[in-house]
Amino acid sequence: MPLSSAEAALRPRNPWEAVDLGVHLAQRHAGLLLGSWAALTLPLLGVLSLLLWRWPGVVLLLFWWLKPAFERLALHVLARALFGATPTLGQALRAWPGQLRGELLASLTWRRFSLSRSFTLPLTQLENLRGPARHQRLHALGRRSGVARWLTILGMHIELVLWSGLLALIWLFLPDQLSEPRNWLSLLLRPPQELLWLEHLSNACYALVLVVWEPVYVACGFSLYLNRRSELEAWDLELAFRRLAERLGAVGQALLLTLAVGLATLLASPPALAGETEPAAEAASALCPLPGEDNPGPDTPRLTHQPLTSRQAQAEIYVLLDQPPFHRVEERFDWNWPERDDEQPNDASPPPAWLQDVAESVEVLLWSLLAVAALLAWRYRDWLRLFAARARGSAAADAPPPTRLFGLAVDPASLPDDLPAAVERLWATDPRAALALLYRGLLSYLLHRRGVPLKDAHTEGEVLVLVQRLGDAPLAAFAARLLAAWQALAYGSRPPPADLGAELGAEWRQLTAATPPREVSA
Amino acid sequence: MSEDSSTQPIDQADANEHAPAAAGSDGRAAASQLQRATQLVQAVRDELGKALIGQQAVIDEVLCALLAGGHVLIEGVPGLGKTLLVRALARCFGGQFARIQFTPDLMPSDVTGHAVYDLASEQFKLRHGPVFTNLLLADEINRAPAKTQAALLEVMQERQVTLEGNALPVPRPFMVLATQNPIDQEGTYPLPEAELDRFMLKLRIDYPEHEQELELVRQVTRSPRSDMLEVAALRPLLRERDVPVLQKICAELPIDAQVLDYAVRLVRASRDWPGLAFGAGPRASIALVRCARARALLHGGEFVTPDDLKACAPAVLRHRVRLAPELEIEGRDVDQVLAQLLDQVAAPRS
């Protein structure tokens, strides 16, 4: 393809300028690019949606995954159009399957997530490079594809913005009854099967967004590629020569021919010289003859004593070089990060005294704040204990059972080994002490053997309820009898029946014998 | 239990009080009198349970207040049978019953009464207000402004009304049952603390359970009146003069020093309890002990146990304390804080 037929001016540009050129390229062929893209992708999306109607997410994923394959069509159109051979829509679509050859698998698998996809696609598709050759070529083009990466990231955002904008547009067109938030919510809160159409609608919106954006994206990547190549291969010079050649026609060709022949003879002469002079034989391979001993250079007195010395000539040459056309003054304005002024090292000068005062007062303030916080925590410790402890909740449940309850020692060690015997002994002289001892025994048993979470605040009635919840009928009956007797004695001053002590003692023996000792893990 | 058998013992008890009895038989007589009183109160309770279905706890507490000679403030959304409860109670004990519907334009004289000039006799005549009754239902008491609510202060505390400079006693027994809608409803005036303190109990009436509501709907729809339960079918089990006797029996129920101490400790704990802006006064301790005695009697106890106190405490305390603003903002309830308090104050020990 002749470079001169390119419709864009090929010269080295700033990469972002090249991206801009890509946008212009896409604009110029917008109809063809968008049309071909839509004709290719929309039916495909339709087919995918019909096949996978129940899985709209999978449809979207597949469609998104196949984007590199679709991009080949856009690139094909662009590459042809750049050099004037714009294909028709039909031609482009027919050419597409042919374009899919060449590393399609790679571009759909491990290169799918490459951010510089748009920049490397022309390598694969237009230069038909693969494997090591492609790698080498990529290396030659230089991995300066930063702008291409940024382009992809930008593209992702543009896609998102356009997609959500389109969905919002649809939402704005909803009738009033539906756009009321409650109705909208009720619409969204339906069973997933009824919401499939909504997801397919969103998929279609995405496809429409791609119709607009993807050709632009491919064009931008393509122009980045062109830019890089024209930079490396001096396409602008080549084009200038070609234009020169075309303008001068045959005369030019002859002139060029003589120029070439002249150059060739000039280049061929040094070996001839070398053949003539023996001392210079060792420098036969050099293009220029080396200066001999008798030719020490411009500093020899013969030269320096001439009216125009080399020194003078040098100075004049420098003056000349400083003037146009050798020296060009160009003013460029660019965006830059502001220069930092505080680059001086910190130890240059100590901070001023007032600043130190301020720092000290801030320090005092912080310490006093800390002290106030500690004071407040102490002042409201009840609050903290009450409400912070509630959050811990279960931690308290794991605490070891208390050793004292209702002012009674309920630790198993504090009780006599043979409790019923002790009760029966006490009963005759002091029934109240005997009942208290048995009550303590019951509480200790409940706490340590049965793991009942008893607290100081539990009344006898609540203890009984807790016992009944254990589902142990004999124990509950025993507890009911004991607690009734205890309540009557303690709160009603009613002495218990004389034989109650022996009965309760016997029951207690049975109960403790029936249930094997089960230590509660503390 | 028949009507005769339930009212008979109280007459005897009444006689026992005046008749001198030997020291040995006195204890036995007191025990049997207590037993009969319990039976009677439980009969009334069962009878009330027929009228007000699914609110057994509220019935118990109202009976406690009646036995302890206190007044009751019932809070709940409309339509849960607050008025029905009062009508049924009035019916069961055969006393007089009056009802005042509190409205924003109700005047104090509409409650207590006033003097009117009689043209025929050319004299001022006192017209007694609705407070001269045994059971006074102050319906939606927080719909009236504080001025009218305060008209009840004297009669609730002193059991008398001062009209035209004369102190007129109200009949005994006298009990005010006020109902109020939850404070946050439209157009309500919160009761002043002094007024609240005069109510012995504040009850919360809540929606009935599913089964009970089923039964309720079944019964109401069977009755000839369209939308409310009939109280005419209830038997008047108590006579007007039985109530003071029951109250006397209740007041004499023994209470151990430790239990008394527990009551005072509970109330005192509310004063410096974190989470309560201010606690209950001594009137709360008094009310707590009286209510616990009534509860013990109602449950057939011969003495007051800490359980009785603990069960009464929320109703006695909940209108006498105020929740700290921080907790109010957090959306906590007085009952939650009181439950915490009851859960932390140690029960009596021996």
Q: What is the pLDDT of residues B34-70, one digit of tens each?
A: 888 888 888 888 888 877 777 888 888 888 988 888 8
pLDDT of residue B247: 87
- Of all residues in chain A, the one with the smallest CA distance to B265 is A457
Cα–Cα dist A37/A93, whole Å: 9
Q: Where are the beta strands (DSSP E) in A296-423?
A: 404-405, 408-409
* pLDDT of residue A500 exceeding 60: yes
Residues 207-226 of B with CB under 8 A from A: none
Nearest CA in chain B to A491: B256
What is the share, in percent, of chain A residues with pLDDT greater than 90? 21
Tokens for B253?
């129920």
B257 min Cα distance to partner chain A (Å): 8
* Residue numbers in B near A491 (CB within 8 A): 255-256, 258-259, 303-306, 348
**Range of weakest confidence among A55-64, A258-267, A388-397, A461-470:** A388-397
pLDDT band at A36 (very low <50, low <70, confident <90, very high): very high
pLDDT at residue A217 is higher than 90: yes
The pLDDT assigned to B184 comes to: 60
Domain ranges of chain B: 3-249, 253-350
Percent of chain A's residues with pLDDT above 70? 76
Phi first, then psi: what are they for B322, rounded to 5°? -125, 135
> Which one of A440, A459, A466 would you mutate to disrupt binding with B, by most B Cβ within 10 Å of its Cβ?
A459
- Residue A385 is given by DSSP the state I
Q: What are the boundaries of each domain within chain A? A: 3-233, 353-399, 402-514
CB B95 within 8 A of CB B135: yes
Measure Cα distances from A173 to A162, A165, A177, B343 in Å.
17, 12, 11, 60
Please check whether residue B314 is in contact with residue B280, taking contact to mean a CB–CB distance below 8 angstroms. Answer: no
Quickly state the pLDDT bin for B13 (edges 50, 70, 90): very low
Residue in B with minimal Cα distance to A493: B256
Tell me how far apart the alpha carbons of residues B17 and B246 are, in angstroms, rounded to a whole number.
12
Any chain A CB within 8 A of the CB of B305?
yes
Chain B nearest C-alpha distance from A516 (Å): 30
- Comparing CB atoms, the residue among A432, A460, A491 nearest residue B256 is A491
Residue for token pair 């020093």: B257
Q: Which of B260, B293, B302, B305 to mutate to test the interface with A (most CBs of A within 10 A)?
A: B305
Radius of gyration from C-alpha coordinates of chain A: 49
| pLDDT of B123 over the 80 cut | yes
Q: What average pLDDT does the segment B216-228 reach?
A: 71
Mean pLDDT of A24-39: 92
**A406 contact residues in B (CB cutoff 8 A):** 346-350
ipTM comes to 0.77
B306 touches chain A (CB under 8 A): yes
Q: Taking CA atoms, what residue in A is nearest to B309?
A: A459
pLDDT (0 to 100) of residue A403: 61
Does the pLDDT of residue A519 top 50, yes or no? no
Instruction: Give the number of A-B residue pairs with CB atoms closer than 8 Å.
Output: 72
Out of A139-153, A391-405, B36-50, B205-219, pick the least confident.
A391-405
pTM of the predicted protein model: 0.53
Q: Which of B:242-271 have CB within 8 Å of A?
A: 254-256, 258-259
Q: What distance in Å separates residue A498's CA from the closest CA in chain B? A: 20
Chain B closest-CA separation from residue A407 CA (Å): 6
pLDDT of residue A392: 52
Quick one: DSSP state of residue B79? T
Give contacts of A488 with chain B, Cβ < 8 Å: 302-303
Q: Which residue of A has its CA nearest to B305?
A: A491
Q: What is the 3 state secondary structure string of A422-433?
A: HHHHHHHHCHHH
pLDDT at residue A368 tops 90? yes
Max mean pLDDT range (A136-145, A209-218, B185-194): A209-218
Overall fold of domain B3-249: Rossmann fold (3.40.50)
Look at residue A86 and tell me whether its pLDDT is greater than 80: yes
For residue B303, the chain A residues in CB contact (below 8 A) are 487-488, 491-494
Contact B274 A383 (CB under 8 A): yes
pLDDT at A502: 79
More confident residue, A121 or B8: A121
Nearest residue, CB atoms, A490 vs list B254, B346, B350:
B350
Residue among B304, B307, B349 whose CB faces A406 most closely: B349
Q: Tokens standing for A491?
A: 């709160």
Task: State the pLDDT confidence band at A179, using cuts at 50, 70 and 90.
Answer: low
pLDDT surpassing 80 at residue A344:
no
Q: Dihedral of CA A21/A24/A28/A31: which sign?
A: positive
Q: Which residue of B has its CA nearest to A458?
A: B347
CB contact under 8 Å between A487 and B343, yes or no, is no
Per CATH, domain B253-350 is 3.40.462.20: no
Check: CB of residue A207 under 8 Å from CB of residue A56. Answer: no
For residue B76, give Cα distances in angstroms to B73, B141, B158, B179. Answer: 10, 12, 28, 8
pLDDT, average across residues B176-204: 81
User: Shortest CB distance from B347 goes to which of A383, A458, A488?
Assistant: A458
Chain A residue numbers with beta carbons less than 8 Å from the beta carbon of B28 are none
Does B270 have pLDDT greater than 50? Answer: yes
- Picking from B274, B303, B307, the nearest residue to A459 by CB comes out as B307
> What was the pLDDT predicted at B19?
39
Reference A77, options A139, A122, A11, A113; nearest CA is A122
Average pLDDT on A414-425 reads 77
pLDDT band at residue A158 under the 50/70/90 scheme: very high
Nearest of B63, B96, B84, B76 to residue B142 by alpha carbon? B76
Contact: A491, B304; criterion CB under 8 Å: yes
Q: d(Cα B202, Cα A518) in Å, to the nearest integer? A: 46
Please determine, for residue A147, whether its predicted confidence score (pLDDT) is greater than 70. yes
Identify the burial level of B268 via C-beta atoms within 10 angstroms of its C-beta, where 0-12 means exposed, 13-18 middle and 19 or more buried. middle
> Percentage of chain B with pLDDT > 90?
3
For residue A37, the model assigns a pLDDT of 92
Please indicate if any CB of chain A lies within 8 Å of the CB of B342.
yes
Among chain A residues, the shortest Cα distance to B259 is held by: A491
* Res A369: pLDDT: 95
The shortest CB-CB distance from B346 to any of A386, A436, A457 is to: A457
Instruction: Name the residue facing A459 among B256, B302, B347 (closest C-beta).
Output: B347
Contact criterion met (CB below 8 Å) for B89 and B242 = no
Q: CB–CB of A490 and B258 under 8 A? A: yes
- Count of C-beta atoms within a 10 Å radius of residue A312: 12
- The segment with the largest mean pLDDT, out of A133-147, A149-163, B154-168, is A149-163
